[in-house]
């Protein structure tokens, strides 16, 4: 089985990446308990070429966008995955502009091509220094909610706190929440797609 996580941060090695790594460790470990090898990949949007949606609907019935950037390649990865995690830092009490652009681009490809992502398990990951991460958590889950994707949850909303790179690892409850999110996502994947 395969899970692809998207890091919407400007910092490829920041707290969003660290949080996604923690989720991945929990996911792979619980997968093994079920006898499943879960392949886990993190894609950093900061390293990708990504333009805004042009609202041209040129993607309709083509399974891809007409724009020549990295979105088609990433969409193919998502299409071949069993689970998708969207991770974003909190920027002014919302998702990063990169993540919003990404959601708009893949969302419209998905919608105009017969809902290619339906049935995959989704999970959201948000980090913040202090406030606004609930908005991010909700915004990411809205995507899964319109894509017919069941959403994995945890013992708390999937939020970690930290400002400087790596600080999220000191948020004990956040770390537990992310680990458990990985466990629950693996359970769901094995029940729904194993
Ligand atoms: C442009 C910008 C806006 C931010 N807005 C918020 C905010 O609204 N609330 C908050 O708690 N932290 C805010 N932060 C702090 C980041 O969410 C925090 O540093 C987070 O750990 C960054 O994740 P990263 O290391 O993956 O980039 C902001 C940071 C930046 C650069």
Domains of the chain (ranges; CATH) run: 2-193 (3.40.50.360)
Pocket of ligand 1, beta carbon within 6 A: 9-11, 14-16, 89-93, 127-132, 162-163, 165
Predicted pLDDT of residue 149:
98
- The torsion angles phi and psi of 85, rounded to 5 degrees, stand at -115, 130
Query: Which ligand 1 atom sits closest to the C-alpha of 7?
Result: 26
pLDDT tens by residue, 18-76: 999 999 999 999 999 999 999 999 999 999 999 999 999 999 999 999 999 999 999 99
Rounded distance from Cα 71 to ligand 1 centre (Å): 24
Distance of CA 62 to the CA centre of its chain: 24
pTM equals: 0.98
How far, in whole angstroms, is CA 123 from its chain's centroid? 6
* CA-162 nearest atom, ligand 1: 21
Ligand 1: residue whose CA is nearest its atom 15: 129
Cα of 39 from ligand 1 centre, angstroms: 29
d(CA 150, CA 139): 15
89-127: pLDDT as tens digits: 999 999 999 999 999 999 999 999 999 999 999 999 999
139 C-alpha vs ligand 1 centroid, how far in Å?
Answer: 16
Q: 138 to each of 87, 102, 129, how far by Cα in Å?
A: 12, 16, 17
What is the model's pLDDT at position 154?
Answer: 98
From the CA of 131, give the closest atom in ligand 1.
11
């Amino acid at each position: 089985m395969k899970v692809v996580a998207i890091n919407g941060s400007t910092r490829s090695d920041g707290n969003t990446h660290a949080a996604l790594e923690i989720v991945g460790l929990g996911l792979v470990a619980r997968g093994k308990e079920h006898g499943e090898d879960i392949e886990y990949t993190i894609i950093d949007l900061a390293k990708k070429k990504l333009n805004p949606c042009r609202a041209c609907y040129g993607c309709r019935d083509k399974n891809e966008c007409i724009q020549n950037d990295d979105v088609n390649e990433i969409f193919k990865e998502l299409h071949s995955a069993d689970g998708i995690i969207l991770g974003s830092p909190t920027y002014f009490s919302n998702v990063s502009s990169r993540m919003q652009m990404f959601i708009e681009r893949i969302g419209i490809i998905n919608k105009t091509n017969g809902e290619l992502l339906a049935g995959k398990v989704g999970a959201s990951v948000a980090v913040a220094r202090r406030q606004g991460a609930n908005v991010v958590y909700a915004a990411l889950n809205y995507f899964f909610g319109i894509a017919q994707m069941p959403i994995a949850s945890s013992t708390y909303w999937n939020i970690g706190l930290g400002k400087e790179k790596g600080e999220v690892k000191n948020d004990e409850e956040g770390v537990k929440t992310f680990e458990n999110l990985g466990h629950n996502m693996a359970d769901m994947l094995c029940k729904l797609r194993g």
